[in-house]
Amino acid sequence: MSTSTGEGRLSDVAVALGCWVGATALLVGVGHAVALDDAGDVVTPGFGQGAWWWTLGALTLQAALLLCGRRFPRATLVAVATVVPVLAFLGAGDATSFGALAVIIAAYAVTVRSGAVEAAPALLSAVALVGLGSTLGALFTGAQAGLAWGTGLLQAVSVVGVPAVVAVFVLARREARAAQADRLAALGREHEALVQVALSRERMAMARELHDIAAHHLTGIAVMTGVLERQIDVAPDDAKAAVRQVRSQSTAMLREMRGLVGLLRDPGAGPEERTRGVETLSGIPALVDAAAEAGTDAHLRVHGTLDTSVAVGPLAQLAAYRTVQECLSNAARHAPGARCDVEVDLRDPAHVVVTVRNGAPRRAPSAHGSGGFGLVGMRERAELTDARLTYGPTDDGGWLVTLTIPTEADTVSARRNGTTNDEEPTR
């Protein structure tokens, strides 16, 4: 038995027990009240009389039938409602109405579990049975026929109709919550799909940039081997042939890689996109100057010397460049008018730290956010280069991004030791 099934069973037992206790308390209390009432306005069996015990037995049967409500909700409602006219025939008198408590519970349960449409036949049958029982109970106590039938119909509609209407309202609320949950789940799946698309685009861009880096180095190899060939004066002819072969192979590889990356290029990319070079740390000042010319209050502070000879690989330098570029773009988009400080710290030989901090926006942003995909791209680049990226809001309402890039020597050491620099972002 599963946990949910066990809990449901306990709930059924608690409801049935509560129904029996409530009906029995009414029967006992009214029985004592009748014994003390000389006017005889209420006609019910006295406490301890035979009809009283028969009535108690019928109410107990009703409570027991409620235990079957989870498996057979419609049959349970009809069975429980059938007990009401039986109470009238047993001489319960006005106590016949005590059977309405179980009918109320069963009518609510069948509507919630089966729905109003499927439960309609059982509900109509219950209305007829309760109306019949209430009418007979009133007639057996000497009420007029018209009054008895009117009272019976009113009680039947109230006992069965009111809980059914409440159950329909509850079902509508549940369906609304379920629809809301489905909508949120769909939005989550859509956002995940957009994130995956953004990741694919970013990885495609990194693949193109990897080609640019490889092309840069292979071009250098081709140039160096060409110079070497011209400088060799006394080397054997085989050495010259080997040098020519190395140059030929590297040139062919460069040509093939260019042809391959052409398949990865965006068909809509312009000439600048197709011919761009490899960006390095030395390009960060130009980024800051361009942002300042565009209207951003951007400032650069460098600790050390920005040049391509720093002990950081070209891919890591490109990641730092793109991170600063994205941060400046985000600052202009989300924090217009705020000061943006870019800091590059190269003093530690183990790593380079790039920090971009912007203040709170001075005026309302003019464009909507990009959904956080720029952060996804920065994180992808950081993971690719074994760098550590952290980002999050500041106390003054601004935003802080920190990229810690290990130097090539530190990266090799970390990989040999089996350590990584992974860190979950702060937001």
Share of the chain above pLDDT 70, in %: 63
Judgement on whether residues 207 and 64 belong to the same structural domain of the protein: no
Judgement on whether residues 208 and 326 belong to the same structural domain of the protein: no
Distance CA 59, CA 77 (A): 14
Total number of domains constituting the chain? 3
**Segment 34-45 mean pLDDT:** 54
Distance CA 383, CA 202 (A): 13
CATH code of the domain in which 348 resides: 3.30.565.10
What the block records as the tokens of 338 is 């705020």
Summarize pLDDT for 268-293 with one digit per residue, the tens: 555 444 445 557 888 899 989 988 88
Strands 399-406 and 388-393: antiparallel
Residue 83 near residue 57, CB atoms below 8 Å = no
Residue 19 near residue 63, CB atoms below 8 Å = yes
Distance CA 427, CA 421 (A): 18
Tell the residue number behind the tokens 């109320």, with chain if given. Answer: 104
**Segment 286-302 mean pLDDT:** 89
Last residue of a domain, one of 151, 182, 213: 182
Summarize pLDDT for 140-175 with one digit per residue, the tens: 666 676 676 777 777 777 888 888 888 888 888 888
Residue 159 near residue 107, CB atoms below 8 Å = yes
Residue 196 belongs to some domain of the structure: no
Nearest to 60 by CA among 98, 10, 8: 98
Domain that holds residue 256: 201-274
Long-range Cβ pairs for the range 189-196 (8 Å, 24+): 191/371, 194/371, 194/373, 195/373, 195/376
Last residue of a domain, one of 245, 274, 303: 274
Please report the pLDDT score of residue 285 as a whole number.
Answer: 92
Nearest to 319 by CA among 259, 277, 381: 381
Residue 315 near residue 385, CB atoms below 8 Å = yes
Please report the pLDDT score of residue 266 as a whole number.
Answer: 52
Last residue of a domain, one of 135, 150, 182: 182
Which residues does residue 354 pair with via DSSP β-bridges, in sequence order? 344, 403
Distance CA 125, CA 164 (A): 13
User: Looking at this protein, which amino acid is placed at residue 369?
Assistant: G
Distance CA 266, CA 287 (A): 24
Assess whether pLDDT exceeds 70 at residue 384. Answer: yes
Judgement on whether residues 95 and 223 belong to the same structural domain of the protein: no
Please report the pLDDT score of residue 288 as a whole number.
Answer: 92
Please report the pLDDT score of residue 300 as a whole number.
Answer: 94
Q: What is the dihedral of CA 209, 211, 214, 220, to 10 degrees?
A: -90
Judgement on whether residues 36 and 165 belong to the same structural domain of the protein: yes
Distance CA 417, CA 331 (A): 38
Residue 104 belongs to some domain of the structure: yes
Please report the pLDDT score of residue 340 as a whole number.
Answer: 94
Residue 423 belongs to some domain of the structure: no
Residue 5 CB: number of other CB atoms within 10 A?
Answer: 10
Assess whether pLDDT exceeds 90 at residue 400. Answer: yes
CA–CA–CA angle 228, 229, 232 (5° rounding): 80
Q: Output phi, psi for 268, to 5 deg.
A: -90, 5
- Mean of all residue pLDDT scores within the chain: 74
Residue 424 belongs to some domain of the structure: no
Judgement on whether residues 47 and 67 belong to the same structural domain of the protein: yes
Judgement on whether residues 396 and 307 belong to the same structural domain of the protein: yes
Assess whether pLDDT exceeds 60 at residue 265. Answer: no
Q: Which residue has the higher pLDDT, 5 or 321?
A: 321
The helix/strand/coil state of 97 is helix
Q: Which of 145-159, 219-233, 299-313 has the highest mean pLDDT?
A: 299-313
